[in-house]
Every structure is written in C-alpha cells, then in structure tokens.
Amino acid sequence: MTDTLATSSARDTIAILRPPQPSAPYAGPLAPLLALPGVTDVLVNEPGTAWIDRGRGLERQTVDLPDAEAVRVLAVTLASAGGRRLDDASPLVDARLPDGTRLHAALPPIAPECAAISLRRVRSQALTLDDLAVGGMVSGSAVALVRELVRQRCSALVTGATGSGKTTLLASLLSEVDPTERILIIEEAGELQPDHPHVVRLVERRANIEGSGAIGLPLLVREAMRMRPDRVVLGECRGPEVREVLSVFNTGHRGGFATVHANSPADVPARLVALGALAGMSQRTVELQAGIAFDVILHVERSGGARRLASIAVLEHRDEALVAIEAVGWTAKGWRQGPGWQALCAVLGGWTPDAAA
C-alpha cells in the first residue's frame, strides 16, 4: 500500500466540510474568528493581535483590542460568561463557555505583560472517518482498519500531545459504534460530540469558591458502571482515575476508549505507571492490568501544522515489563508495517487489509 499524506488543498477541503460555527457575542472582537470554518483555537497574548488554528498551523490575525486593558476586560467578560471568577484574587481560570468553547485565561502578574486568552472550539458535529481521510488525518488505508477495531470491540487508548487531534479522532470512532449500543462518556469539560443516537455524558464538577462541591472523574467512572453502559469512554485520563478505568476495562466492559497525553506509543506504559502512582498503585499492578485492559494504542501527532494518525501499537509483556510495539504507521512514503503487525491481526481475529477489499 502506498498512501501519501494529504496536501494543503485537501486539508482546506476538510475545513469546508465543517459547518460554520455559531457566533459567540460575549467573545467581542474574537467572535468573527471563532465563527470561521475549521477554526479549532483562538489565542490572544498581546493587544491588537490574535492567532487562529484551522489545521494549517497558527495564523496571525488583527483584532480590535487596542491595549492590554482591553484584553483584560475581554478575559474577565469571557470568564463571567462561563460562570467563573477572574480577578486579581483569582488570576487563572479554566471554564466552559455557553456554546461549549473551552476557555483558559491568565491575568497579570501571572501573564506579566498582558492577559493571555486561549479558546478551544468544540466541534458541534463529529467528522466521519471518511472526512478525516479526505483531510489527511487518517490514511485511506487506515480507515478500514480502525473501523474494524471499533466493530470488534477492541479497547483502545488514544494518545498524543495537546491539540494533536485526540478528541477529533475519538469522536469519529464513536460515531462508528453500532446505533443499538449505549455509549457513556465521562469528561472534564464535555468536548466529545459523536454522531450517535444513544450517548450519555457525565461531566466533572469543580469545587466552588469555598472549595466544596467537587465531583471528580474517579467517582464519575464508578457511577458510570451503574448506568448500564455498552461502551465506557473517558475523555482524558490524567490522574488517579486511571485506577477506576483499568478496573472497568478489566471487568468485561470491552470496546471502551480513553485518551492519554503521551509523546509516543513507546512512552505510554511509563505514563500509565506514573498516573497509577497517583492512585497508590504499584508499577507491577498497573502494567499487569493495562496489558489486559487495552488492545491497541492509536497515536496522533501534529506535523507541519497538520494533525494525523501516526501509528497504531499493541501492548505486550516482555521481560516482565509492559511495552508498546508498533503494528502499523504512516509516513510521507506511505504504509509501514511494524513488528507488532501479526499481534494486531490476532487481536482483530485474523483480519487483514485484503479482508476489507
């Protein structure tokens, strides 16, 4: 197979496939930027300038924010729209705006020269795997493979850096789940929007100003088990909730997904061990449970401003340690089978690319 990464024109096509986003009047001069087709991020860290990301890397834009005070006022307004406090006593905020947009803002002196605003647009409708293939995020040869992973109810970790496309890929995968199945999504901020008729979501609640009322991800994962899920999905595994996630995926709930920040598939075992330590789990316990819980790792990267599914790996125990072995990867030269290819085919019940033809 010889797939090539999509050209910039193909990435432009995927932006057209995304419908224009609704305006956000509380965003002031940033509202037109948030409404541009394909925009995922809008960033401000100085007067008069904003940066947008629509899949081609950061692009500079001129905005009507004449001075640092105007940027500060906008940051406070956005925080208020998200029901959060932002002032000298609380100079940092992480909030969700009414339209689902993620807000992070920092005021001076935390951001010394000027308030820093970061907006992450939540896509209102999931892209299909075919859309991702057109846009170059998923190689054409990979579409049949990842569809088979969903169909076979393989449990998967979606890994990558911040902004690499984990949520985008995961929403597309969940849209492939059989409509008769019940998907239960547990998230920090409610970003996943799969195109599926039966989705139940639980969203973490943070402590109020008095420091009480918090409901965290570990509790939500445990509660999810009482809600008759067919598939359990954790939007981001970033702390001691890894203990509950491993427990769920080791008690018959196959076909679930979780996302984890990691630099590469090879780093995933160490990352899981580090998260398990936060929950008081030993390295041996984490490695044994993770090796059983997850069938594959789907790793996404950003390269040259474009997001892509870079590799699929399997987890194996070697010399009493858990390691990730690449099964298949995609480069500018096309499809590359790795040492874990036969293990991946075994996970898929003997499936091969020819079987999808």
Both tokens assigned to 315: 């987890």
- Report the 3 state secondary structure along the chain: CCCCCCCHHHHHHHHHHCCCCCCCHHHHHHHHHHCCCCCCEEEEEECCEEEEECCCCEEEEECCCCCHHHHHHHHHHHHHHCCCCCCCCCCEEEEECCCCCEEEEECCCCCCCCCEEEEECCCCCCCCHHHHHHHCCCCHHHHHHHHHHHHCCCCEEEEECCCCCHHHHHHHHHCCCCCCCCEEEEECCCCCCCCCCCEEEEECECCCCCCCCCECHHHHHHHHCCCCCCEEEECCCCCCCHHHHHHHHCCCCCCCEEEEECCCHHHHHHHHHHHHHHCCCCHHHHHHHHHHHCCEEEEEEEECCEEEEEEEEEEEEECCEEEEEEEEEEECCEEEECCCHHHHHHHCCCCCHHHHC
- Confidence band, pLDDT 50/70/90 cuts, at residue 23: low
Q: Are 91 and 106 in contact (CB under 8 A)?
A: yes
Q: Which amino acid is at 300?
A: V
Q: Is residue 8 part of a domain?
A: no
Q: Are 198 and 182 in contact (CB under 8 A)?
A: yes
Write out pLDDT tens, residues 44-95: 999 999 999 987 778 999 999 999 999 999 999 999 998 888 999 999 998 8
We report the CATH number of the domain holding residue 213 as 3.40.50.300
Q: Is residue 191 part of a domain?
A: yes
233 and 176 in one domain?
A: yes
Write out pLDDT tens, residues 139-148: 877 899 999 9
103 and 177 in one domain?
A: no
β-strand 199-203 against 183-187: which pairing, if any? parallel
70 and 162 in one domain?
A: no
Phi, psi values for residue 249, rounded to 5°? -75, -5
Integer Cα distance of 287 and 243 in angstroms: 12
Q: Is residue 66 part of a domain?
A: yes
Average pLDDT over residues 316-326: 92
226 and 316 in one domain?
A: yes
Q: Which of 102, 120, 138 is the last residue of a domain?
A: 120
213 and 97 in one domain?
A: no
Q: Which of 120, 141, 172 is the last residue of a domain?
A: 120
For residue 221, give its domain range.
129-356
Report residue 157 CA to chain centroid gap.
Answer: 11
- pLDDT at residue 24 in the model: 67
Q: Is residue 1 part of a domain?
A: no
We report the CATH number of the domain holding residue 101 as 3.30.450.370
% of the chain exceeding 90 in pLDDT: 55
Both tokens assigned to 300: 């996404």
254 and 183 in one domain?
A: yes
Write out pLDDT tens, residues 191-217: 888 999 999 999 888 777 667 788 888
% of the chain exceeding 70 in pLDDT: 90
280 and 163 in one domain?
A: yes
Q: Which residue has the higher pLDDT, 170 or 26?
A: 170
**In whole angstroms, how large is the CA radius of gyration of the chain?**
21
Q: Is residue 13 part of a domain?
A: no
274 and 220 in one domain?
A: yes
Cβ-Cβ contacts under 8 Å for 241 (sequence gap 6 or more): 216, 217, 218, 221, 234, 279
Integer Cα distance of 202 and 218 in angstroms: 12
Q: Which amino acid is at 180?
A: T
Q: Which of 54, 88, 120 is the last residue of a domain?
A: 120
172 and 97 in one domain?
A: no
Write out pLDDT tens, residues 222-269: 998 899 999 999 988 888 999 999 998 988 888 999 999 999 999 999
303 and 181 in one domain?
A: yes
Identify the bridge partners of residue 106 per DSSP, sorted by sequence position: 92, 116
Q: Is residue 190 part of a domain?
A: yes
Q: Is residue 185 part of a domain?
A: yes
Task: Please state the domain count of the chain.
Answer: 2
267 and 313 in one domain?
A: yes
Q: Which amino acid is at 296?
A: V
Q: Which residue has the higher pLDDT, 265 or 356?
A: 265
- pLDDT at residue 288 in the model: 94
Q: Is residue 4 part of a domain?
A: no
The length of the chain, given as a count of residues: 357
- pLDDT at residue 209 in the model: 65
Residue 84: which of 197, 186, 168, 207 has the closest Cα? 207
Integer Cα distance of 349 and 5 in angstroms: 29
149 and 295 in one domain?
A: yes
Q: What global pTM score does this model have?
A: 0.80
